[in-house]
Structure 1
Amino acid sequence: MWRIAMNSLPQRPADSWSPLYFLASLGAGGLAVTFFMFLMFWVPHPGRPVPVFEDILGAFRNGGLPLKAAILVAVIGIAVFAVVNIRLLVWNLAQLSAFRRTEAHARLMTSNGETQLLAMPLALAMAVNAGFILGLVFVPGLWGVVEYLFPLALVAFALIGVIAFRRIGAFLSRVLSEGGVFDVTANNSFAQLLPAFALAMVAVGMSAPAAMSTLPLTVGVSMILSVALGTFAGLYTLVAAIVAFGSMLRHGTARESAPTLMIVVPILTVLGIMMMRQEHGLHTTFAAHGGIADTLLLTTMILAVQSVFLMLGLLVLRRQNYAATYLRGEENSPGAYALVCPGVAFSVMVQFWINKGLVGAGLIAKFGIAYWALSALAVASQVAMIALMILLHRRHFARRMPRDAVPAQ
């Protein structure tokens, strides 16, 4: 089902490649993260901020049948979607290399769509995050050498950040120095928030050592870099959203780009996780103690804003018959993969809200009735996004017989 043929028939929509296909890799990586949430919050990991191979194996050996089933589902889900994430990333990088030699690339570089190329560093940053999860789950003894890996991870994210900043700089220098080259009438979506999403993904990756390292220097560098990038991401989001919203009010939302109305959801999730990681580092390394309800307030506010954009996006998509056109109809759009990220991000943030917010503040009991009732919401969103990924993969990557072909007798 997930096999991607590199030399396939030209009838596949994916053969007409777009940088937005990097969002397919991003979505697969995000789904791997949703399965890691099972392990993060349901597997005991005393003395460590995250579960590792030894914690997972011990819980599987000694836990009850429900926990064993959850671990098995999580491990398989992480493995499957991490592989899909990597395969799609490699495929996209190969397609990008060929795309750069085409006239379509030259046209893209002189249009608003130039920022679509930020989907590449966005997918790269997600792949690094997914790779770290793979190491935690499947590599025995990793925690014993993890302090040596954190500087390497920071370097990797820094390099991805450089790629993102170079692309953003090239775009902004062009549109701000050459008057009239940015088409304001075509800015009637949140597509221009993609650079902010890329910066936010790099920032959340850079914040991981702040929560996990025990070395003050590593924690400090991680915190400084992630705060800086997170600030840039937040500022870019605010400016781009205000500019785009005015265009949408005047011209309506571009139908094919309508899913971008919900891009605020994943941006807020990754920035929220970044802030929680930074707070943990401040507490464990620098003895800066926050209030017991700080995380509850943060996650609740994030979920409230996310809910607004989810409802707004879904209302517009329904009004424009987006699903009937691009999910069930004859037309295909690589931008449809942007629908996966909000559902994945919402599922992840609900898990943090429940476990770090509600349980952390003592409002509900862990593994009680209320706990599982709310967790079902996160799982339902996760399952829906898995189904959507399968649907999109079949539509965009499945080999198709030409319309005038005659089936073999």
Structure 2
Amino acid sequence: MSTQTKRPADTYSPLYFLASLGAGGLSVTFFMYLMFWVPHPRKPVPTFEDISAAFATGNTPMQIAIVIAVIGIAAMVFLNLKYLIWNLTAYKAFKQTDAYVALRNSNAESTLLAMPLAMAMTVNGLFIVGLVYVPGLWGIVEYLFPMALVAFALIGFLAFKMIADFLGRILTQGGIFDVTANNSFAQMLPAFALSMVAVGLSAPAAMSHSTLTAGLSLILSTFMGTAAIVYALVAIFTAFNSMLHHGTAKEAGPTLMVVVPIMTILGIMFLRQDHGLHETFGAHTAKVDTMMMLARLLTVQILFALLGMLVLRRQGYFTDFVLGSKTSPGSYALVCPGVALAVMIHFFTNKGLVGAGLIEKFSPSFWLITAIALAFQFAMIALVMRLNRQHFGKQAQGTAVPAE
């Protein structure tokens, strides 16, 4: 540890890619307004034309929601790109340092997967930008889907290469993976990256009218999603054993909730695949089955969120690293669970409860549940603003804690 007068972010860690990721995730929370509140008949997602029509004919609350969504998406995608570009530049310089060599020979080598994770989120965010701001995009979207599949496949290749370097080192040399330092879910980051690539690959399955494109999307996303699940299960069981013996590493405490965003991402992938199987291949799933699937995923999220909050409160993490003077780049991992819960609650409410007929759309009960999603969203916006000031503010002072 060292007391510093420069920005904490000047002591670089690949975990700062999570700053870009968090902003990108928040852009999705604003897109949920448009996805579920703006009518978009005969299309799986709203486009510029649907949004314009809803703004022109909708009531005042609808118009206000659209304005907030459009501005929110623009602001968050801007931050997403800003911090992605900053990270790519800082990472290039970081690779020339001894700290990079040390990282590549430690458990923390897996933090490099934050790069493809953030890159995949950016591609997803740019697709949202296209839908919301580009007139006529839907008319050429069939040409864009193959390009998107190639982009996500390349990011997936990068992720697998990084995983291969890491696993190849620790599984062939032996004795160099510090099991005592594996007392967190930090090793879940590769699974997080793979799941983000998987959900991107699944988008054409839900939206393309080309049988070949939809089929490739289904196969590729299934491969990446399954790889993410397998990696996640191995990482959870090995880490939990270490945590039971050594407790949870305080600065890595937020990783206990990384299961939450993985569940949301895989849930969206399942929904996209199900829609594609129905529209293109004639498979049918009952709406109540969709509700139950989302309910199960949400249950897993709540359990891991409660576990994470329990440990973080007991350890005084928020007092030290969020509200206090200490800084850790891993704090940005706190944004992901809140964003993921906001998005999942929107899907559970609209695709689950409304879809199965348990509640009516725009009824008091609908808004009561939706308010929970909105509360998570705006809490995460406040958290992002706080963390950005802490880590990227000029002349920030505090005790920097290196990430494990």
**Aligned residue for 1:106?**
101
The one of 56, 76, 79 equivalent to 2:74 is 79
Deviations 1:7-28 (A, max 9, x none): xx96111111100000000000
**Aligned residue for 2:14?**
19
* Counterpart amino acid of residue 305 in structure 2: L
**Aligned residue for 2:369?**
374
> Helix, strand or coil for the counterpart of 1:325?
helix
Deviations 1:154-189 (A, max 9, x none): 000000000000000000010000110100000000
Query: Where do 4+ consecutive residues of structure 1 move more than 6 Å?
Result: none
The one of 184, 188, 199 equivalent to 1:189 is 184
The one of 206, 221, 224 equivalent to 1:229 is 224
Q: Is the 8 A contact 2:109 2:166 kept in 1?
A: yes
* CA distance, structure 2, for counterparts of residue 38 and residue 31 of structure 1: 12
> Helix, strand or coil for the counterpart of 1:360?
helix
**Aligned residue for 2:215?**
220
C-alpha displacement at 1:345, in angstroms?
A: 0.3
> Percent same amino acid at aligned positions?
61
The one of 128, 135, 138 equivalent to 1:140 is 135
| Structure 2 CA distance for partners of 1:178 and 1:210, relative to 1, 3 Å | same
**Aligned residue for 1:294?**
289
> Helix, strand or coil for the counterpart of 2:44?
coil
Greater relative CO (CA pairs within 8 A, separation 6+):
2
**Aligned residue for 1:6?**
none
C-alpha displacement at 1:328, in angstroms?
A: 1.7
Map residues 3-402 of structure 1 onto 2, 5 A cutoff: 11-400=6-395
* CA distance, structure 2, for counterparts of residue 295 and residue 397 of structure 1: 42
C-alpha displacement at 1:402, in angstroms?
A: 7.3
> Helix, strand or coil for the counterpart of 1:372?
helix
* CA distance, structure 2, for counterparts of residue 43 and residue 322 of structure 1: 40
C-alpha displacement at 1:233, in angstroms?
A: 0.2
> Helix, strand or coil for the counterpart of 1:367?
coil
**Aligned residue for 2:402?**
none
* CA distance, structure 1, for counterparts of residue 150 and residue 325 of structure 2: 44
Q: Which runs of 5+ in 1 are unaligned?
A: 1-8, 404-409
* CA distance, structure 1, for counterparts of residue 351 and residue 138 of structure 2: 23
| Structure 2 CA distance for partners of 1:372 and 1:166, relative to 1, 3 Å | same
> Helix, strand or coil for the counterpart of 1:84?
helix
The alignment's TM-score, normalised by the length of structure 1, stands at 0.96
* Counterpart amino acid of residue 81 in structure 1: M
* CA distance, structure 2, for counterparts of residue 53 and residue 247 of structure 1: 50
> Helix, strand or coil for the counterpart of 1:207?
helix
The alignment's TM-score, normalised by the length of structure 2, stands at 0.97
* Counterpart amino acid of residue 367 in structure 1: F
| Structure 2 CA distance for partners of 1:88 and 1:402, relative to 1, 3 Å | closer
C-alpha displacement at 1:329, in angstroms?
A: 1.6
**Aligned residue for 1:406?**
none
> Helix, strand or coil for the counterpart of 2:96?
coil
> Helix, strand or coil for the counterpart of 2:362?
coil
> Helix, strand or coil for the counterpart of 1:256?
helix
* Counterpart amino acid of residue 200 in structure 2: G
* CA distance, structure 2, for counterparts of residue 321 and residue 10 of structure 1: 24
* CA distance, structure 2, for counterparts of residue 110 and residue 100 of structure 1: 13
> Helix, strand or coil for the counterpart of 1:257?
helix
* Counterpart amino acid of residue 193 in structure 2: A
C-alpha displacement at 1:381, in angstroms?
A: 0.3
| Structure 2 CA distance for partners of 1:402 and 1:128, relative to 1, 3 Å | closer
C-alpha displacement at 1:290, in angstroms?
A: 1.1
* CA distance, structure 1, for counterparts of residue 5 and residue 224 of structure 2: 40
* Counterpart amino acid of residue 358 in structure 2: L
